[in-house]
Amino acid sequence: MMKHTELKLRLVSSTEQFEALEESWNELSVAAIDKSIFASWDWLFTWWEVFSECDSRDLFILCFYDQDLLVGIAPFQIARKYPHSYIQGRTLRFLASGEQLQDSIATPFLDLLARDGYQHSVVLAVEKAVIEYQHRWDFADFEFLLETSLITQCFQQNSGGINRRLDAYGYRCVVPQVDTQEEYLETLPKRWQKDYRKSDRLFHKNGELEIKTAEFERIDESLALLKDMHCERWAGRADFLVFESEKFNQFHRKILRRLLPKGKAYIRTLCFDGHPMSTYYAFEGENWVHYYQSAFYQKNANRYMPLLYMLCNEIGSAMERGKHFDFMFTDSENSYKKYQYSAEATPMFRLLWTPSRFRLLLLDSYRMYKRVWLRLKDYVVALRKKLAREQGK
């Protein structure tokens, strides 16, 4: 059983204070058991640099000390112009969350950071601090949480007058660990095994295959190539293209400049006879490879299946290095990542806190209205297509 230690609170509320935390934050990350590259100082500070001026955000990082030793961090912000602020009000959130949809970085697995042995004390200290500063927030909204997230232990008894709710919120897709690439390929359904081996034969028979890893000086060029492939595939098929967001591109230029020299991020491109065919963008933590984005050009894609071939090789390589391969977030338990790459889906969660039951009722009413509206919209679109087909006969 973990002992409880009374911790000292320091509120970090300025960019200068946040920047000065880099060294101690990184030291705490090393000492923590449950950690993620997405909760690192590099990731969160980069996000703050890009998005701090959007949507009236206040920095609200809670740092907890045992005497002079930093033992816990709650990397919060308060969003005062959240898209649903008329319902949620001033919203307490993790940093690196709450962007406008068209700018979405989609940062998963955010959590409290706690030194080993201090987890329980940090949970209690967060509860105490959140109640102490209750005059500054109306609602708390934490998305893309794992079942083991430390923050889900806060307010479990709806204590301190805080109403708490934990909702299902999509799935995380992880490829089960094996020792070698060949063992991994054997886990694929027969159809995809056959397609992979066909691609392997064609690539080695018909020309020169090369995998290029982006160098620091070519970060912008590599991102531009990924954007071009992505837009070629999705233009006219998606409601918006995130690569057309300047905020999205600015964030990724910055984070790659921070993480690529540390070996924690890379963009790789499959080239055939000197021509790029597919590109893959990933982040790497201590024990994990996190798939982030990928794309391919349409030309010859059906014949060579360059992205399938590339990702299977990347997954196999991760396995042989003792790393877990993570496809991160998906809406559906039956994602193509499950059937095409043998990933297993585990539930993720959204955690809500509020002193006001009325705000929860309003949020539920809004969600119901939105679901009905989207279904009606889909019905109208389908009806128009049907009428257009009939008129064309």
Residue 221 sits in the same domain as residue 248:
yes
Question: Which residue did the predictor score with more confidence, 233 or 70?
Answer: 70
Residue spans of alpha helices (H) in 7-140:
15-20, 22-31, 41-51, 85-88, 119-132
Buried b (16+ CB within 10 A) or exposed e, 306-320: bbbbbbbbbbbebbe
Convert the pLDDT of each residue in 18-60 to its tens digit.
Answer: 999 999 999 999 999 888 999 999 999 999 999 998 878 999 9
Mean pLDDT score, 318-340: 93
Q: What is the CATH number of the domain that holds 118?
A: 3.40.630
Q: Tell me the three state secondary structure of residue 137.
A: coil
Question: Which residue did the predictor score with more confidence, 177 or 89?
Answer: 177
In a domain, 261, yes or no: yes
Residue 211 sits in the same domain as residue 113:
no
Residues 6+ away with beta carbon under 8 Å from 215: none
Q: What is d(CA 25, CA 31) in angstroms, rounded to the nearest whole number?
A: 10
Residue 388's identity, in one-letter code, is A
Which tokens belong to 213? Answer: 């890893």
Residue 47 sits in the same domain as residue 163:
yes
Q: What is the CATH number of the domain that holds 274?
A: 3.40.630.30
Q: What is d(CA 268, CA 281) in angstroms, rounded to the nearest whole number?
A: 7
Position 183 confidence tier, pLDDT thresholds 50, 70, 90: very high
Q: Count of CB atoms within 10 A of residue 146's CB?
A: 18
pLDDT at 207 over 90: yes
Range list of β-strands (E), 80-214: 91-94, 113-114, 139-145, 163-175, 209-213
Which tokens belong to 58? Answer: 């206040």
Residue 160 sits in the same domain as residue 14:
yes
Mean pLDDT of the chain: 92
Which tokens belong to 200? Answer: 């392997």
Asked which of 159-163, 187-191, 349-353, 357-361 is least confident by mean pLDDT, the reply is: 357-361
Residue 191 sits in the same domain as residue 49:
no
Global pTM?
Answer: 0.90
What is the span of the domain harbouring residue 308?
178-321
Nearest to 81 by CA among 105, 100, 102: 100
Residue 313 sits in the same domain as residue 194:
yes
Longest dimension (CA), the chain: 79
Residue 98 sits in the same domain as residue 215:
no
Question: Which residue did the predictor score with more confidence, 200 or 378?
Answer: 200
pLDDT, position 356:
76
pLDDT at 94 over 80: yes
At residue 167, φ and ψ (nearest 5 deg) are: -110, 150
Domain count, the chain: 2
Helix (H) or strand (E) holding 155: none
Question: Which residues face 145 on adjacent strands?
Answer: 349
CA 14 to chain centre: 25
Return the DSSP state at 114: E
Question: Which residue did the predictor score with more confidence, 385 or 355?
Answer: 355
Terminal alpha carbon distance of the chain: 73
